[in-house]
């Protein structure tokens, strides 16, 4: 009898303990926030086992809990909070009560804003962007190469789709190299967590929006990277993915609601036809598949019409700017996003960070298609996209055609003339990012068939054309590769790993031609950095004659002439044709060689060569 009583008491005590223990919260995001934003509203996403059965309360001067939203999944609550302008920084409890259970308390913090002169300063046409993939650039901390518990634990540098071990510390270690090259802004492919089982290195299948991938480093290290970049005069661009999310994300593994992502009866890819978005004669189903179809089976398509998704993404992006002080955003797969939401997103981000720069990836097939997505083009849309600039693939293709094509009415050098002539379609074409290649396409040196003269001419046009120039890592040392498959254009920068046979971050590790290429790019990039006429100056171009395309960049203080001979033979350019721009100038200096040119009336230009001449009176 006594034994039975003891067992009964023990059982009752066990039940009491279980009843008294409320499951811990798994996440509250954003985990902290700041006072002083123009938008006083904040929506917290709370995730925990059966958390929706809780009564929620908080008590802090200036902070009001205005709504508690329960959704389909009982493991979520969405809390609407209003923060008055007079609210002071500090910590306060958010209490979750459930009948018969011990209260669960989350201590929330509102911080003082970090905003300074170097915070969110913007990337403009005064800058030169250097795009790199952190996994493939340099390995500064081998201790984080493999992280236990992550789905992809291997490190295989001989495999194009495996992780190679590059990280944020590796980028920090080579900031001096980038500074010397003439770079002024760094864009890394997404560095936040991608905990996918395969090919997680590229960063475009995010699984945790508030966490730097531990194989790259920590949030604090990312913040340090931004700060060190700023002290060296380098800006930082963060790559954002609005359109899709990795299927291993906690937000997909336990979705708040079915409408968090676009659902289809069976798996459906996007048709990848951007024209369907703008086609006035188009079918609604085509447009829906373009916008709502998934990018990949491992990349769920986010439903940007869902207000909870909208709040979550917008707040996350504001959080990263305030937390780390980044200077600009590159927006991945821009045409696939909901345009109305993206306009609202841009307004909210700009309201908090007026100088922050934004440009969207638009790998589309005409100037009109590109311009359709940009700020100021409200015809047939009924609203402004608020997108300042795009990735100008048409300039890229035109430069390639000028280098590789044969002259025709719209071919060869005439292609680039005709593309630039369509700048009237943009509110401001100087906000567009111009480039020769990136991580999704064949490397420029391979595109020009490893012709070194063409390589220099392409770089010359990139660094003197209107817009914001962007280089891809390793272009300056003639890295090559074709994009089929894409892993071939994502090789390691040799010298970034301990034990590499050569260190191509140094002159001694590069061969003669690589050093010539590096020095050519460095000379021109640094000249551009010190020449406002090539940054913010006007552009005047002339109809090509005899296969030579000529344009000028100029301001009140300086005029620079750029002339490219797209022909197969040396040609002489008579400059009388350019009297409107050259009147009063009688000599010049070759920007690359420093050689003085006394006769600028007739210029001899070798085949496929670009001359860059600073004119003098």
Cα–Cα distance for residue pair 441/448, rounded to 1 Å:
13
- Say if CB 386 and CB 350 are below 8 A apart: yes
Size of the chain, expressed as the number of residues it contains: 617
Catalytic residue among 352, 361, 392, 475: 361
DSSP state of 113: P
User: What does the buried/exposed string (b/e) look like for 270-283 if buried means 16 or more CB atoms within 10 Å of the residue's CB?
Assistant: beebbbbbbeeeee
Contact status, residue 344 vs residue 309, Cβ threshold 8 Å = no
How does DSSP classify residue 162? S
Is 332 annotated as catalytic? yes
361 a catalytic residue = yes
What is the C-alpha separation between 137 and 497, in angstroms, rounded? Answer: 9
* Catalytic residue (choose from 332, 392, 475, 476): 332
Q: Is residue 292 a contact partner of residue 272, using CB atoms and an 8 Å limit?
A: no
Backbone torsions φ then ψ of 160, nearest 5 degrees: -70, -20
The two beta strands, 571-574 and 63-70, are unpaired
Name residues whose C-beta falls within 8 Å of residue 122's C-beta, 6 or more positions apart in sequence: 235, 327, 328, 355, 356, 357
Is 581 in a helix, a strand, or coil?
helix
CA 486 from chain center: how many Å? 18
Q: What is the DSSP string of 169-234?
A: HHHHHTHHHHHHHT--EEEESP-EE---SS-GGG--S-SEEEEE-TTT--HHHHHHHHHHHHHTT-
Three-class DSSP category at 531 = coil
Dist CA 90 CA 108 (whole Å): 8
Catalytic residue positions? 332, 361
């Amino acid at each position: 009898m006594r034994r039975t009583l003891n067992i009964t008491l023990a059982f009752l005590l066990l039940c009491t303990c279980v009843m008294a223990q409320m499951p811990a919260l798994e996440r509250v995001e954003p985990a902290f926030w700041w006072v002083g934003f123009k938008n006083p509203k904040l929506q917290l996403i709370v995730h925990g086992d059966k958390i929706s059965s809780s009564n929620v309360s908080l008590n802090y001067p200036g902070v009001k809990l205005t709504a508690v939203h329960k959704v389909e999944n009982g493991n979520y609550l969405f809390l609407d909070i209003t923060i008055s302008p007079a609210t002071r920084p500090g910590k306060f409890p958010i209490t979750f009560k459930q009948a018969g259970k011990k209260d669960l308390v989350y201590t929330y913090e509102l911080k003082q804003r970090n905003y300074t002169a170097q915070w969110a300063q913007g990337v403009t046409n005064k800058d030169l962007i250097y795009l790199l993939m952190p996994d493939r650039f340099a390995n500064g901390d081998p201790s984080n190469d493999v992280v236990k518990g992550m789905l992809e634990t291997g490190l295989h540098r001989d495999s194009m789709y495996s992780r190679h071990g590059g990280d944020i510390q590796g980028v920090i270690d080579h900031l001096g190299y980038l500074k010397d090259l003439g770079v002024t802004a760094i864009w890394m492919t997404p560095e936040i967590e991608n905990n996918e089982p395969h090919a997680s290195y590229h960063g475009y299948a995010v699984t945790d929006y508030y966490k730097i991938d531990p194989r790259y480093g920590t949030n604090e290290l990312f913040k340090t990277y931004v700060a060190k970049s700023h002290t060296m005069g380098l800006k930082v661009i963060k790559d954002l993915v609005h359109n899709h999310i990795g299927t291993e994300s906690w937000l997909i593994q336990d979705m708040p609601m079915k409408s968090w992502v676009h659902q289809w009866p069976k798996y459906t890819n996007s048709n990848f036809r951007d024209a369907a978005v703008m086609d006035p004669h188009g079918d609604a189903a085509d447009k829906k598949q373009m916008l709502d179809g998934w990018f990949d089976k491992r990349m769920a398509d986010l439903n940007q019409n869902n207000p909870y998704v909208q709040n979550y993404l917008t707040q996350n992006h504001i959080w990263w700017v305030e937390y780390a002080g980044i200077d600009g955003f590159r927006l991945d797969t821009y045409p696939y996003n909901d345009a109305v939401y993206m306009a609202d997103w841009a307004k909210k981000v700009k309201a908090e960070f007026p100088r922050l720069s934004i440009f969207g990836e638009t790998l589309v097939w005409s100037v009109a298609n590109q311009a359709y997505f940009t700020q100021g083009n409200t015809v047939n849309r009924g609203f402004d996209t608020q997108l300042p600039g795009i990735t100008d693939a048409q300039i890229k293709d035109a430069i390639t055609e000028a280098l590789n094509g044969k002259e025709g009415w719209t071919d060869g050098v005439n292609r680039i003339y005709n593309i630039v002539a369509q700048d009237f379609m943009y509110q401001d074409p100087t906000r567009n990012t111009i480039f020769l290649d990136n991580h999704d396409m064949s490397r420029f040196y391979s595109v020009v068939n490893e012709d070194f003269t063409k390589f220099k001419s392409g770089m010359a046009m990139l660094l003197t054309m209107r817009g914001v120039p962007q280089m891809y890592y390793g272009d300056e040392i003639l890295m090559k590769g074709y994009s089929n498959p894409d892993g071939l254009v994502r090789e390691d920068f040799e010298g970034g790993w301990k034990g590499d046979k050569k260190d191509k971050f140094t002159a001694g590790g590069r061969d003669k031609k690589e050093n010539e290429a590096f020095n050519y790019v460095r000379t021109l990039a640094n000249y551009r950095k010190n020449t406002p006429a090539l940054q913010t100056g006007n552009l005047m171009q002339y109809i090509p004659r005899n296969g030579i395309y000529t344009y000028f960049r100029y301001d009140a203080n300086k005029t620079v002439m750029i002339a490219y001979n797209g022909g197969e033979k040396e040609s002489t350019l008579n400059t009388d044709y350019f009297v409107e721009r050259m009147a009063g100038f009688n000599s010049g200096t070759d920007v690359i060689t420093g050689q003085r040119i006394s006769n600028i009336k007739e210029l001899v230009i070798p085949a496929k060569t670009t001359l860059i001449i600073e004119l003098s009176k």
